[in-house]
Amino acid sequence: MKLKHIIESQQFTVPSLYDLFERADQMKKIVKRGGTRDYQNKVMATLFYKPSTRTRFSFESAMYRLGGSVLSTEQAKEFSSEIEGENLEDTIRIISNYSDVIVLRHYEEGGAKRAAAVSPVPIINAGDGSGGQHPTQALLDLYTIYSECKTLDGLSVAFVGALDQGRTVRSLAYLLGKFDRIKLYFIAPLEMTIKNDILEYLDERGVSYQLADSTDGIINRVDVVYQTRIDKKRLINKDVKLSQYNIDKNVLSKMKYNSIIMHPLPRSVEIDPAVDTDPRAAYFRQAENGLYVRMALLTMLFENEE
């Protein structure tokens, strides 16, 4: 697949995902050998309208491991300090003169698409708006499952937490729906259950899923638990104990020996640090995989230019 920009998860077909993951595997080997200088002439701009040091560092490290350079800002709004409301399009047209790829975190849903429409260099969406997309997160999540479970077919995956708001959960559920014999569990307090658009999509594709408000009888059967935060203040029924959605040593003891626990991080109380040393705790490996997937994406974009 020829990639021009990376805007949303929907761009990726199953074969292109396997291509990407094979390439990410290679990148892991390259990093362990000390990186490459192959892309030393490339300049990446990280244009963040909202700070996110974690995501920014992951992209910038990917560029450095490929040998390239980085223009970096977490205060992209300062572009517009002189006039209110300078448009994103003008900013992109200017920055594209100074860089070979632009990693954009914008505050508005659709920001990345607007940027891509005018940019002569590739745009990578690093999150646009809270209801928008964050495709590289979804891709590194899927790669982590593939890398840990050695397959993407026939898996059962439980999503736990405030599923109505989770950009990452929505995107990952979407991507998992493309694979065979997948079974998804959406476990959340009633007021935070997964939204209907995702369920309709899964229905269309004939993907098996189940909604629940408790992990009981599910956590012990799944291959993957994808854990997310729950904001206490959003809880309507105050009798519900949020701690029942947390993972601690006790919950861990019920899980399959070869299952994994994932989390987009940062975490709060929903995963007890006592779980960290268990081999099933995959969340720090998941963060590591962000590096390899982003390196893989960058090389795909650069190759397509040639």
94 is a site residue for a copy of itself (CB under 8 A): yes
8 Å CB contact between 12 and 142 = no
81 is a site residue for a copy of itself (CB under 8 A): yes
8 Å CB contact between 4 and 123 = no
CA distance 83 to 86: 6
243 is a site residue for a copy of itself (CB under 8 A): no
3-state secondary structure of 127: strand
201 is a site residue for a copy of itself (CB under 8 A): no
- Shortest distance (Å) from residue 53 CB to a copy of itself: 5
83 is a site residue for a copy of itself (CB under 8 A): yes
286: enclosing H helix or E strand: helix 283-305
Strand 123-128's sheet: what is its strand order? 69-73, 43-48, 101-106, 123-128
Instruction: Among 16, 35, 178, 183, indicate the residue that binds a copy of itself (CB under 8 A).
Output: 35
CA distance 190 to 230: 12
Instruction: Among 79, 199, 256, 278, indicate the residue that binds a copy of itself (CB under 8 A).
Output: 79
Crossing angle (nearest 10°) for helices 88-95 and 111-118:
50
34 is a site residue for a copy of itself (CB under 8 A): yes
Residue among 53 and 210 whose Cβ is closer to a copy of itself: 53
Instruction: Among 11, 72, 165, 193, indicate the residue that binds a copy of itself (CB under 8 A).
Output: 72
3-state secondary structure of 113: helix
For CA atoms 237, 238, 241, 243, the dihedral sign is positive
- Shortest distance (Å) from residue 58 CB to a copy of itself: 6
Residue among 239 and 306 whose Cβ is closer to a copy of itself: 306
- Shortest distance (Å) from residue 289 CB to a copy of itself: 9
Size of the site for a copy of itself (CB under 8 A): 53
Q: Which residues are registered as beta bridge partners of 125?
A: 104
248 is a site residue for a copy of itself (CB under 8 A): no
211 is a site residue for a copy of itself (CB under 8 A): no
- Shortest distance (Å) from residue 229 CB to a copy of itself: 7
- Binding string, residues 249-268; x marks residues near a copy of itself by CB under 8 A: ----------------xxxx
Instruction: Among 115, 173, 229, 247, indicate the residue that binds a copy of itself (CB under 8 A).
Output: 229
8 Å CB contact between 292 and 143 = yes
8 Å CB contact between 54 and 25 = no
Instruction: Among 17, 76, 158, 222, indicate the residue that binds a copy of itself (CB under 8 A).
Output: 76
- Binding string, residues 41-60; x marks residues near a copy of itself by CB under 8 A: x-x-x-----xxxx-xxx-x
Upper half-sphere CA count for residue 104 (Cβ side, 13 Å):
35
Instruction: Among 284, 303, 304, 305, indicate the residue that binds a copy of itself (CB under 8 A).
Output: 284
- Which regions of the chain does DSSP assign to beta strands (E)? 43-48, 69-73, 101-106, 123-128, 156-160, 183-187, 208-212, 224-227, 260-262
Residues in contact with a copy of itself by CB under 8 A are 34-35, 37, 40-41, 43, 45, 51-54, 56-58, 60-61, 64-65, 69-76, 78-83, 86, 89-91, 93-95, 97-99, 229, 265-268, 273, 284, 287-288, 290-291
